[in-house]
Chains A and B, each alone.
Chain A
Amino acid sequence: MLVILIRAVDLSVASILALSGMIVSLLSQSNPNLPVIVFILLSCFIGTFLGLINGIIIGILKVPFIITTLGTLSIYRGLIYFISSGKQVYSHEFSENFLSFVHLKFFNLPTMFWIAIIIFIFIFILLNYTKFGRNLYALGGNPQAAKYIGINDVHYILIVYTLLGAIAGLCGYLWVAKYSVASSQIAIGFELTVISACVVGGISVMGGTGTVFGCTFGALLIGLIRNILPSVNISQFWQLAISGIIILVAIIINNKTDKIREKNILTKNNPI
């Protein structure tokens, strides 16, 4: 979400997620006795690294973000095949503590929920109460102007992509532990879900606007729709098409409201 805020898109999140998930599950297959914190940190670290590569290519080598992340999308996904040599890791091959972490419960809510809350609060504070967050909005709203007032855009591109990579890496571990299977096919098309969650949540794809609350509600809405579909007997094959429709409708609505808002600003300033 942070990435879209600065007028960019990261299409490689799903591949980062899958790659780090695969690496930790292979590790757990070979060393079943490691404590769970090692897996979590390692998946975070791998994600950070992959995100940093994205950031370096985009920020320093000045390759357009869409090309970079399309490229890394296939590179990371291809690396999974090489690392795992096309095999899957099944549930019985994982170690006990690898799997049990996601099923732990605090106050009757799974750990996943708490991790989501922590990340939510972290980004909320980051965006609303720090200079870093203000600068991000500035960069998204008008990159040129932000540069002139002395915001180092390369810096921010690096940090944002790295942060996103870290979160995606963490999700890689969570995903694998939750479904207790790791293959090269996991989370294919997940990047579209992420983008649609952001867009539905009111983050403008033109950058510069959007809140963490909106994004969270967007994600909840999409999760809800996905859960409702099978229960009203719509086949799972509709899912991809529906996420496409959601993205398009959300973009169009966003665009309309932006225009209305612009008009309102104009009338307020010029009461003639």
Chain B
Amino acid sequence: MKNIISNYGGKYSTIFYKKEFILFLVLILILILNSNISPYFFDLVNLIDSTFLFSEKAIVALSMTLIIISRQLDLSVASIIAISSCVLGYTNSIGLSTFSIISLTLFCGIFCGAFNGWLITHYAIPSIIVTIGTMSLFRGLSYVLLEDQYYSNFPNIILELGNGYFLNLIPYSFFIFIILTFLFAFFLHKTIFGKKIFAIGNNPEASKYSGINVNKYTFILFTLNGLFSSIAALFLSGRLSSVRPNIALGWELEIITMVVFGGVYIYGGSGSILGVFLSIIILGMLTFGLSLLNIPGVGIIIFTGLLLILTIALSTFIKNYSNKNV
């Protein structure tokens, strides 16, 4: 019995190793291609500035990784970003202090995430359906709050967060993302909390019977996701220095793409932070390269959609194939 388990674990870790190894190769390939195509690509300032464009999504992608590993899905993240940005703008426009603006924004995200979690666990409804509903609810509420207006004139601290550099070198959002990556990697791979998330993703029923409070974990994960969405909202509205209700439209797709491209199995139970980290960098460099080539934003959206479907089709194909061989 012990033998089987260790064999199983050993085999899995080689697959993981392979997956991340492939991602790493892809990254190098993209870097080489990009620098060949465009002479402006390998400029250090350019490269560092390009991280502005994906760090906000990347922050949400980290917590989304946990959710997908635990066999759930959150489609409402982009709408949570929108509503927290609107709360940020609103509290700013009525003249609250900077501290209370930021804490209210974060609170809004936590509340929205907790609302998702409450609906999913209390009524035992599939998370996909719940978050389809809250996706339109939160987005709709931000339209109600803002109508066709916009908020701007943010305090300096928020603008600095969005546009500034840590130690005059790395953008704050990217810096926070790197720190969070280490934190998440530690929590997911080294603590009991993380092990339980994997257990829930592999078999929710069995983990329930082995004494894991699945509902509690689901609730915590969705609340976390709300929190990180609102952190992303802080950076995003600081960077754009204005807020409109259609902010971050369609981001849920890009965030899920980041996670799934990083080798997280969409039906839960496997995946790693390292893979997600690599895929975020790959996708970021790819879109940066594409935009250097003057490909319009819509083209990039189509490309993301295709990439998402292709990667999942490929990974399910490989999984089926290897199952047959076993």
Contacts and interface: CB of A to CB of B under 8 A. Distances in A.
Interface of A: 9, 11, 57, 61-64, 66-68, 70-75, 77-79, 81-82, 189, 192, 195, 205-206, 235, 237-245, 247-248, 251-252, 255
Contact of B143 (A61, A79, A241, A245): A241
Nearest to B254: A74
Interface in B249-281: 250, 252-253, 256, 260, 266-267
A62 B298 CA distance: 27
B166 interface: no
Most buried by A among B136, B144, B256, B313: B136
- The contact size tier of chain B is 35 or more
Interface in B284-326: 296, 298-299, 301-302, 304-306, 308-309, 312-313, 316-317, 320
A78 B298 contact: yes
Interface string B46-71: 00000000000000000000000000
Contacts of A82: 298-299
A235 B309 CA distance: 38
A244 B137 contact: yes
B266 A64 contact: yes
Contacts of B266: 64, 67
Contacts of A70: 75, 252-253, 256, 305, 308
10 contacts: A61-B313, A72-B305, A73-B253, A74-B253, A240-B136, A241-B139, A244-B137, A245-B137, A248-B137, A251-B125
A9 B126 CA distance: 12
B128 A71 contact: no
Given A237-B143, A240-B136, A243-B140, A68 B301 contact: no
Nearest to A240: B140
Contact of B132 (A9, A71, A242, A245): A9
Contacts of A72: 305, 309
Most buried by B among A11, A74, A82, A239: A74
Interface in B131-159: 132-141, 143-144, 147-148
Nearest to A189: B136
Contacts of B129: 9, 205, 247, 251
Contacts of A63: 309, 312-313, 316
A222 to B, nearest CB: 13
Given A74-B304, A75-B302, A242 B133 contact: no
> Which are the 10 A-B pairs with shortest beta-carbon distances?
A241-B140, A244-B137, A240-B140, A244-B136, A247-B133, A78-B302, A71-B305, A61-B313, A75-B305, A248-B133
B8 interface: no
Contact of B299 (A57, A78, A243, A252): A78
B299 A61 contact: no
Interface in B167-221: none
A189 B119 CA distance: 22
Contacts of A79: 302
